[in-house]
Every structure is written in structure tokens, then in C-alpha cells.
């Protein structure tokens, strides 16, 4: 039994010594056949990998812009792996943003004090935005805010230069709020829009195409009459970066209340919620109105009487109105 095992073991040893020479021949043959195929595959994969790496870089910058530094670091590590596959040296590691995550408030009331200058707003924004966000905010230049109308609807328009959507900056990062002044039957009335997203358009009526920038339209709504004036505030990641005013004709100071308070200064209504200027949070939390009804109410403004909400706002019937009647006002 021992001799058989020995023979087998010796035989195995012989085979092990003989196999490499045979395998070398096979391996060389395989490599010769494989080489052109691999070169072709690498050539085809290289632009794909590079495109993947570029998209990961944009994604990382975007996450840093949003203050999501840990997630940005993960994306950059993935990007480094992709580049290493291409033999591209990386700087090793991701840059971490030193800014904390900041959530943009869902609702911000239109300011009631004087209109702030661009410099004042940027100084305040510097303490609220992270470094990447602030760098982009500094580059933004807003112009030509105005009210226009088409097909029986009024809407706002605004130009923004200095930045353009590229994956890092997104148009959806910008929001707007507008406070309007209208007069109906001789009575002045102010009302607010909701927090509006800005819709990009190629060009606006009567204005040239904006090179290196974008025209926006926002807050389309049916209006009983064209407003006399409007005050607009633009937010970037929920932080105010621009304020301006539009007046149909003349100087807006002639609309000021009692010659002292600016027309956009809201009044104290003795604890009542003004349906025309309350934020979505106030309507929801203080009045208990459901989200769908709040959205519809914001879009149906202005209201000239409290009772209008029964007929005009979805989800608010007579029973709901009876519960709200003593808590609300319209002026």
C-alpha cells in the first residue's frame, strides 16, 4: 500500500513539474488572443469611466453645497476608485465641507421692513450659507423684476445672470415670495404668494435672450385687477439673497399707509389670522387647515371677504368655515 501511494505521489509530483511548461504555452496563447480584445474594451470603457467620474464629481460638489459632507466624501471615494482603474492619480481623499447641514425653511414670511440692499442681504447670508453656497450666491445678479400678464393670468418675471444650471447649481435652489398691492372698489389690499419655485424660460416678452443667465417666470394666478405694486424676495437654499420692488407707475411711497408705514407693512390684527398674508405654516398649525386646502387657498388669493373661502377653496365647507370664522380676517 505504501509503494502505491508513493508511486501516486511521485506521479503527481511529476505532473506538477510538467504542467507549468504546458500551462505557459496555453497562457501565452491566451494572452496573445486576449490583448487586442482587452485594448479594445479599455478604449471603449475609458470614456464611459471618465464620464462616470465626472458625474460623481458634480454629485460630490452638489452634496457639499447642500452641507452633506459625509455623503460627498463617500462619492469622492467612489470617484477615486474609478479613476484608479484608469490609472489616473487622484489627490487622495475628498475635501470635507466645514459647514453643518442646514435645512431650508419651508415657509419664510415676506419682510415687512424696508427693502434691504444686496450687500446687506449677502452679509446676513454669509452666516447662514456654507462656503460653496455663499460663493454661488455672490455670483448671482438679479434684474428686471416685473409683473406681466397673458391669457387672463398675471405672473412675475425676473432675470438671473452669473450662474446657470450645471448640476451643481440648480434652478430649484431658488425660491421666491411676492407681496402684492391691489385696489378693488377703492379699498387697498395686500396679499402674499406662496413660496414659489422659479420656472426657467428661454426668453420673456420684450426682452432679449440673456447670455450666461436665465429668465424666470413664477406665481401665475388669476387677478381681479393688475396690482399697483409688488415686492419680491428671492431665497437661495431658504436664505434671502435679493429684494426688489415693482411699481406700475410713479413712486410706491404714495401707497404708504398714513404716509409713514410702507404699503407692504402688514398690520396687527389682534390675534386674527389674515387669510391674505398668513404663511402656509400659520394656516396649517394655527387654523388646522389641511395641506391640500392650504395649497389651494394660497393660489386663490386675494380674498376680499372671509366668506369667499367657502366657495373658492377646495375642502373648506360651511362647517369648517363656522369653526374658522372667529379666528380669521382678510384685511
Q: Tell me the pLDDT of the chain (331 aa) as tens digits.
A: 444 444 444 444 444 444 566 777 777 778 778 777 877 787 777 888 888 888 888 898 888 888 888 888 898 888 888 877 665 433 333 333 333 333 333 344 444 467 899 999 999 999 999 999 999 999 999 999 999 887 778 899 999 999 988 889 999 999 999 999 988 777 788 899 989 999 998 877 767 777 778 999 999 988 877 899 999 999 999 999 999 999 988 777 777 766 567 888 877 777 899 999 999 989 999 899 999 999 999 999 999 899 999 999 999 999 999 999 999 998 7
Q: Which residue has the cell 389670522?
A: 273
Rounded CA-CA distance 176/132 in Å is 21
Name the helix (H) or strand (E) containing 242: strand 239-247
Q: Is 174 exposed, middle or buried (0-12, 13-18, 19+ CB in 10 A)?
A: buried
pLDDT at position 133: 94
159 CA to centre of own chain: 17
Rounded CA-CA distance 236/173 in Å is 6
Rounded CA-CA distance 327/274 in Å is 9
pLDDT at position 115: 86
pLDDT at position 185: 73
Domains parsed from the chain with CATH numbers: 2-85 (no CATH), 102-260 (no CATH), 267-331 (1.10.150.320)
Rounded CA-CA distance 145/141 in Å is 12
Rounded CA-CA distance 267/305 in Å is 17
Rounded CA-CA distance 66/129 in Å is 9
Cα 288 to Cα 111, 141, 296, 312, distances in angstroms: 24, 39, 15, 18
Q: pTM here?
A: 0.72
Amino acid at each position: 500500500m505504501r509503494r502505491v501511494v508513493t508511486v501516486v505521489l511521485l506521479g503527481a509530483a511529476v505532473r506538477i513539474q510538467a504542467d507549468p511548461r504546458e500551462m505557459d504555452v496555453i497562457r501565452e496563447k491566451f494572452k496573445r488572443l486576449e490583448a487586442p480584445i482587452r485594448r479594445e474594451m479599455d478604449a471603449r470603457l475609458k470614456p464611459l469611466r471618465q464620464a462616470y467620474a465626472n458625474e460623481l464629481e458634480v454629485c460630490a460638489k452638489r452634496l457639499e453645497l447642500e452641507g452633506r459632507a459625509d455623503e460627498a466624501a463617500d462619492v469622492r471615494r467612489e470617484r477615486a476608485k474609478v479613476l484608479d482603474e484608469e490609472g489616473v492619480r487622484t489627490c487622495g481623499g475628498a475635501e470635507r465641507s466645514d459647514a453643518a447641514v442646514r435645512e431650508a425653511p419651508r415657509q419664510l414670511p415676506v419682510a415687512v421692513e424696508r427693502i434691504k440692499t444686496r450687500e446687506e442681504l449677502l452679509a446676513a447670508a454669509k452666516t447662514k450659507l456654507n462656503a460653496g453656497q455663499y460663493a454661488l450666491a455672490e455670483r448671482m445678479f438679479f434684474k428686471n423684476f416685473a409683473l406681466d400678464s397673458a391669457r387672463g393670468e398675471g405672473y412675475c418675471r425676473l432675470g438671473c445672470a452669473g450662474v446657470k444650471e450645471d448640476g451643481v447649481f440648480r434652478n430649484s435652489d431658488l425660491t421666491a415670495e411676492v407681496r402684492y398691492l391691489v385696489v378693488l372698489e377703492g379699498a387697498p389690499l395686500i396679499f402674499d404668494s406662496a413660496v414659489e419655485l422659479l420656472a426657467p424660460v428661454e426668453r420673456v416678452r420684450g426682452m432679449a435672450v440673456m447670455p450666461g443667465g436665465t429668465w424666470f417666470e413664477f406665481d401665475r394666478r388669476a387677478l381681479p385687477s393688475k396690482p399697483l405694486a409688488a415686492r419680491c424676495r428671492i431665497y437661495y437654499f431658504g436664505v434671502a439673497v435679493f429684494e426688489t420692488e415693482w411699481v406700475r407707475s410713479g413712486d410706491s411711497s404714495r401707497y404708504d399707509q398714513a404716509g409713514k408705514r410702507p404699503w407692504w407693512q402688514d398690520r396687527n390684527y389682534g390675534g386674527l389670522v389674515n387669510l391674505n398674508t398668513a404663511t402656509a405654516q400659520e394656516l396649517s398649525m394655527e387654523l388646522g387647515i389641511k395641506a391640500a386646502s392650504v395649497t389651494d387657498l394660497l393660489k386663490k388669493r386675494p380674498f376680499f371677504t372671509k366668506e369667499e373661502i367657502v366657495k373658492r377653496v377646495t375642502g373648506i365647507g360651511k362647517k369648517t368655515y363656522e369653526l374658522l370664522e372667529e379666528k380669521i380676517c382678510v384685511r
